[in-house]
Amino acid sequence: MVKRIIFHIDANSAYLSWEAAYRLQHGDPLDLRTVPSIIGGNPETRHGIVLTKSIPAKQYGIQTGETLYTALAKCPELVIVPPNYSLYMQCSKAFGDILREYSPSVEQYSIDEYFVDFSAMERLFKDPIKAAYVIKNRIKNELGFTVNVGISTNKILAKMASELEKPDKVHTIFPEEIAEKMWVLPIEELFMVGRATSKKLRSRGIRTIGNLANYDPKLIKLFLHSHGLLVWNYANGIENNPVRENRRPIIKGMGNSTTISFDVEDRDTAHLVLLSLTETVTARLRQAGCCAGLVSISLRTNEFYNCSHQRKLFSATDCTNTIYEIACELFDELWKGEPVRHLGVRTSELCLNDFHQIAFFEKDYDKQRAVDRVVDVIREKYGNGSVFRSAFLHSGVRFSSGGTVEDEEYPIMSSIL
């Protein structure tokens, strides 16, 4: 029987690395990775949150998910770069295209990580570890960013291996190396062990992955139910799912939100902010080849009161105008007149956009979709600000707001005990 060899290849600080590589390739002398810098928020208003950070920024204690306000308090010279989702999609595709030159079995797991089944490639590449270095160095030299490569006999061990030390590394965790390399790690390092699960495990004296692996699975199931068996399997390196060729990442939803630099006190301005958010969200939907069957909006008042509202669509869509109109209707139904400081638009219940069921009273969907496609092409070629709606002129609202990405792109690698 052929021994399985699985690679997990993960871009290091993907958004920031991709932005840095793009700028260097276009003549910018500054490499964002060498200075305290972040991707996220609005550099003009300095509102929003940190999506990803450079290693120098990490040395100031800056954390992913914190506000730009607190990040700037830690490092006043921090370089802030807004997110560029069209660039990220292009980089992700180029990343995957290189990997497919080394194996026909490549699965995109999220925008910045892939699994590669290397099991049948021994005749071309005798040593998988040497092949991993070739792939890693080629991505670095040709695309300008670094990756980590984890190697093992299944997906979970390969993924754990790729996380061991960053950046620009190749690591292995083969079954015989689990005790030495994985069991010694804190329980929080195990894939699928979040804050709540970690708290429950630590309350029972389970502090390392090894503690969990050697715990009675029947007792784990008593207080963590089926999730307990899942993480127990992962702690023992048990996972047998195949690498699925040409599989799109499982995306449950796409959204964007923004903290506004002033109190929004009128409906028209709020609608304009929703339009700027919807422009970003729907462009990403189309890039991913998805339509949304559910639209939701969220708001936070200047008194920090949070609320949300959603609506299921009769037919899924990726049309900017359609989703914007629904977002405005949801806002009007939800808003009670209080000053608003934060707005968000989210789409979920996604499906592929290769088929559309037209409703009887629906507006000319094909015409709107054609316009959206033309705008996407222009922005991709000439930049995000090359074309935007005249409603944003002199409005005080950016045509492309946001910076809080609300994707759920991480499917569970299910495992059977």
- Pairwise CA distance, residues 232 & 215, whole Å: 8
- Pairwise CA distance, residues 79 & 29, whole Å: 14
Predicted local distance difference test score (pLDDT) of residue 416: 37
* Confidence bin at 388 (pLDDT 50/70/90): confident
Take residue 166 and report the two structure tokens written for it: 């960053």
pLDDT in tens, 108-143: 888 899 999 998 777 778 889 999 999 999 999 999
pTM of the model: 0.70
Domains located in the chain, CATH noted? 1-173 (3.30.70.270), 183-241 (1.10.150.20), 253-405 (3.30.1490.100)
Strand order in the sheet with 52-53: 52-53, 37-39, 79-81
Run of H or E including 311? strand 306-317
Predicted local distance difference test score (pLDDT) of residue 390: 77
Q: Within 13 A of 260's CA, how many CA atoms are on the CB side? A: 26
C-alpha separations of 64 from 86, 156, 216 in Å: 21, 24, 35
Catalytically annotated residues? 113
Which residues, in sequence order, are CB contacts of 10 under 8 Å at separation 6+?
A: 112, 113, 147, 148, 150, 162, 163
Predicted local distance difference test score (pLDDT) of residue 405: 45
Instruction: Indicate if the pLDDT at residue 261 is higher than 50.
Output: yes
Run of H or E including 230? helix 217-235
| Rounded average pLDDT over 72-82 | 92
Predicted local distance difference test score (pLDDT) of residue 185: 97
